[in-house]
Structure 1
Amino acid sequence: MEQGLIDAGALAAARAELGGNFVRILGYFREDGVKSVSAIESAMRDSNAAAMVLPAHTLKGESRQFGAETLADIAEGIETIARSCVEAHDDPSEALEHVARLRPLFDATLAVLERTSNPLATRRPAGFGRRVAVI
């Protein structure tokens, strides 16, 4: 699925499993994801590895639920680095590259999930006298 951001099979499985609750749970993913990304960025600014662990773990799990494997992998990388830094009493500077990629990746992933989950197809006019193209 679009730019490899979403595993279509995992997304279809989530849709089937969640049924009518899918859109509501996706809304929770949006809300939790925004909070997690902000918490990770704040912890990075404060060089607080311990404060990165839980939001990265949460984002990883919720991302995998929707087949957002690329986002989950970045969150997992942040979580792993943060846990290691906590154990070593080190600053999480090694996670900076991952954290810098996190927000744009989250935003792009969420846009794809919301677009593909919209029950109304996005339509593009094809011109006078022509069929409407469904995107």
Structure 2
Amino acid sequence: MSYQQADLVNWTDFARTRSELGAAFLRILGYFREDGVKSIAAVEEAFRARNAAALVSPAHTLKGESAQFGAYRLSAMAEEIEMTARRCVETREGPDELIETVVALRPCFTETLALIDRDASPLVPRRPATFGRRVDAPTFGRAG
């Protein structure tokens, strides 16, 4: 499956990670944000230098951290960069074929974090899912 077909965020896995991390969730999410910014900058810099070997480590880091939060599209993009860069190192080729993926990496990271932040914000009220009529829904036409 190509990264374009992967979910931006798999909310089931995201919820599982959130539950497993408990009180540490927001702190670890902050690390993901910081590490992601650094990893993407390193990937972009290595690509500009056409240094396939320098692409491997930051892409590998981004792949694992993204998958932890259910950010599968970002993880798949990072994996494509990592695996292609490893092949380029072995064959002594430049990583030019990665241009589209490298260019799309930062916007994907930004979009992913916006979704995660919206869900992770302690200010966003979370209501339990209900089926049928909402319990707190106003009753029109009847005295309540």
What secondary structure is seen at the aligned counterpart in 1 of 2:50?
coil
Q: Which residue matches 2:55?
A: 52
* Alpha-carbon distance in structure 2 between the residues aligned to 1:54 and 1:71: 15
Which of the two has higher C-alpha Rg?
2
Q: Deviations over 1:57-93 (max 9, x none)?
A: 0000000000000000000000011000011111000
Structure 2: 5+ residue stretches without partners: 1-5, 126-137, 139-144
Query: Which one of 40, 44, 48 corresponds to residue 43 of structure 2?
Result: 40
* Alpha-carbon distance in structure 1 between the residues aligned to 2:120 and 2:72: 17
Q: Which residue matches 1:76?
A: 79
Query: Which one of 104, 108, 112 corresponds to residue 107 of structure 2?
Result: 104
* Alpha-carbon distance in structure 2 between the residues aligned to 1:5 and 1:121: 20
* Alpha-carbon distance in structure 2 between the residues aligned to 1:83 and 1:67: 24
Deviation beyond 4 Å, 4+ runs, structure 1: none
Sequence identity percentage: 55
Cα RMSD (Å): 1.5
Structure 1: 5+ residue stretches without partners: 123-130
- For 1:55, give the aligned amino acid: P
* Alpha-carbon distance in structure 1 between the residues aligned to 2:111 and 2:7: 11
* Displacement after TM superposition at 1:94 (Å): 1.0
- Give the paired residue count: 121
- For 1:64, give the aligned amino acid: A
Structure 1 residue 24 and structure 2 residue 36: aligned? no
Structure 1 residue 85 and structure 2 residue 121: aligned? no
- For 2:29, give the aligned amino acid: L
* Displacement after TM superposition at 1:49 (Å): 0.3
* Displacement after TM superposition at 1:4 (Å): 3.5
* Displacement after TM superposition at 1:5 (Å): 1.2
Q: Which residue matches 1:115?
A: 118
Q: Deviations over 1:38-57 (max 9, x none)?
A: 00000000000000000000
